[in-house]
Chains A and B, each alone.
Chain A
Amino acid sequence: MEPTVSFFSGFAPKDLLFLGEAALRTMWISVLSISIGTVLGVVFGWILYEGKWAAALTVAPILDVFRSVPLIIQLVLFYNFAPIVGLNLDPFASGVVILTIYTASLVANVARGGIEAVQPSMRRAARSLGMSYWQDLRHVVLPIGGRAVFPAWVGVALGVMKDSALVSVLGYVELLKASQILITRTQEPFLILTLAGAFYFALSYPISRYAASLERKWAQ
């Protein structure tokens, strides 16, 4: 009699390494998207603040679309329709593009709030010292407004990091996708999802702690 072929095998130590690598990919796609998205978001936030009604008619509605449509829909739509206009992006690049725009649309309003948090009289004082518009923006508005909205930005960044799990639907093997692969093989969803959750926590927690310590330092 033929021996039974086993399709399933238990969780092995090397699978931990596989999850670890996937966690690094989650980190990489998040760091890239959050960094570029934050820079873009700050620029958009400035446009929203300075642009008045012109921005309200142009940039604001576009950002609203990206803020309001579920990320998973944006990812699938972009990944499948980009090739039609000649953009052949792999899952990673598609993920970065959408996560970046998504981050930017969230950061834009945080950034605008930051600029609004700086008293006009403070900016007048800066200008009265001979600072140019840009010097005032760089040396007064950015540090003061930035600190005011830093907790909100950390919230956005951690949210985007967790939302990067959705890029798994495009086939990019980040933490969630890696877990699904292992679950299929080992049939141990409880163990593996717990491990994946622990990895997400390990990525987020240092950031929250670091953010909290920065806020404490600034508060003095």
Chain B
Amino acid sequence: MIEIQDLHKYFGALHVLKGINLNVEKGEVLSVIGASGSGKSTLLYCINGLEPVQQGKVVVDGTDVHAKGTDINKLRQQLGMVFQQWNSFPHLTALENVALAPKIVKGKSKAEAREIAAQQLKHVGLGEKLDVYPSALSGGQQQRLAIARALAMEPEYMLFDEATSALDPELVGEVLETMRMLAEEGMTMICVTHEMGFARDVSDRVAFFHQGVMEEIGPPEQIFGTPQSEHTQKFLANVR
């Protein structure tokens, strides 16, 4: 379970997150929506400790992410993350991309790491591309590679930071399909997204962020059907 308590985050003088309180249960799929600059992505960065926080805390399965003495590298193995930019390692084949972290971080043998990698790549539909370099893959395939790479660490949670925003429109579908598959398999997911269809169909809950505040959270029917906050209504009217 991920517990976020009174979380404040500043970039210099800029107050990016203004007291976020949020719990995400195991098995839940939470979509986070909101305009650019509303603090959605920053929230994800704070959850896996890529950004320090100034006040409040994030607790993942009982471990305080930002506490001194927390082994952040170990904790991050529980928190797979997929970014807007897919960031495949260009010098490694698809298989090596996925096998690298299990090998060096988890200390798996080379054969074991490759087996895990091959399995995860098949899982996301890249079973035919094991020995291909990322430069020969499409954006959608590279993003699925990034998903497989995160899954190879066998995380308990997956964080998606606008995973489809940098893709050509015709490639968005295959990545959303992969995310949908993970959700159906019971993966706990926090998805920062601009894909309202995905948020509506796949999420258990949807949170709306506005200027660093979580204005509204609830089941998709409520957020999309009868939004309470004026900002949510405005935002949804604009994206439709």
Q: Which residues of A contact B (CB under 8 A)?
A: 119, 121-122, 124-132, 135, 139-140, 143-144, 147, 218, 220
Decide: B83 and A130 in contact? CB cutoff 8 A: no
- What does the 1/0 interface line of B87-106 toward A look like (CB < 8 Å)? 10111000000001100111
**With A144-B90, A144-B91 as contacts: A129 and B101 at CB distance below 8 Å:** yes
How far is it, in angstroms, between the C-alpha of A140 and the C-alpha of B89 when the chains are bound? Answer: 7
How far is it, in angstroms, between the C-alpha of A49 and the C-alpha of B214 when the chains are bound? Answer: 38
Decide: B85 and A128 in contact? CB cutoff 8 A: no
How far is it, in angstroms, between the C-alpha of A129 and the C-alpha of B83 when the chains are bound? Answer: 12
Decide: B74 and A124 in contact? CB cutoff 8 A: no
Instruction: Enumerate chain A residues within 8 angstroms of B149, measured Cβ to Cβ.
Output: 129
Decide: A129 and B105 in contact? CB cutoff 8 A: yes
Instruction: Give the 4 A-B CB pairs with smallest separation, nearest first.
Output: A125-B87, A129-B101, A128-B81, A130-B77
How far is it, in angstroms, between the C-alpha of A131 and the C-alpha of B3 when the chains are bound? Answer: 24
Decide: B81 and A135 in contact? CB cutoff 8 A: no
Decide: A139 and B100 in contact? CB cutoff 8 A: yes
Of the candidates A122, A135, A139, A147, the one whose C-beta lies within 8 Å of that of B87 is A122
Decide: A130 and B91 in contact? CB cutoff 8 A: no
Could you list some 23 contacts between A and B, CB below 8 A? Answer: A119-B85, A119-B87, A121-B83, A121-B85, A122-B87, A122-B89, A124-B87, A125-B87, A127-B73, A128-B76, A128-B80, A128-B83, A129-B80, A129-B100, A129-B150, A129-B153, A130-B74, A132-B73, A135-B104, A139-B100, A139-B104, A144-B90, A220-B133
Instruction: Enumerate chain A residues within 8 angstroms of B73, measured Cβ to Cβ.
Output: 127, 130-132
How far is it, in angstroms, between the C-alpha of A127 and the C-alpha of B100 when the chains are bound? Answer: 12
Decide: A130 and B76 in contact? CB cutoff 8 A: yes
How far is it, in angstroms, between the C-alpha of A144 and the C-alpha of B88 when the chains are bound? Answer: 11
How far is it, in angstroms, between the C-alpha of A218 and the C-alpha of B134 when the chains are bound? Answer: 12
B35 located at the interface, meaning its Cβ lies under 8 Å from any Cβ of chain A in the complex: no
Instruction: Enumerate chain B residues within 8 angstroms of A119, measured Cβ to Cβ.
Output: 85, 87
Chain B's interface size range is: 20 to 34
How far is it, in angstroms, between the C-alpha of A172 and the C-alpha of B184 when the chains are bound? Answer: 74
How far is it, in angstroms, between the C-alpha of A107 and the C-alpha of B146 when the chains are bound? Answer: 33
B79 located at the interface, meaning its Cβ lies under 8 Å from any Cβ of chain A in the complex: yes
How far is it, in angstroms, between the C-alpha of A140 and the C-alpha of B149 when the chains are bound? Answer: 14
B50 located at the interface, meaning its Cβ lies under 8 Å from any Cβ of chain A in the complex: yes
The smallest beta-carbon distance between B58 and chain A, in angstroms, is 15
B48 located at the interface, meaning its Cβ lies under 8 Å from any Cβ of chain A in the complex: yes
Instruction: Enumerate chain B residues within 8 angstroms of A128, measured Cβ to Cβ.
Output: 48, 50, 76, 79-81, 83, 150
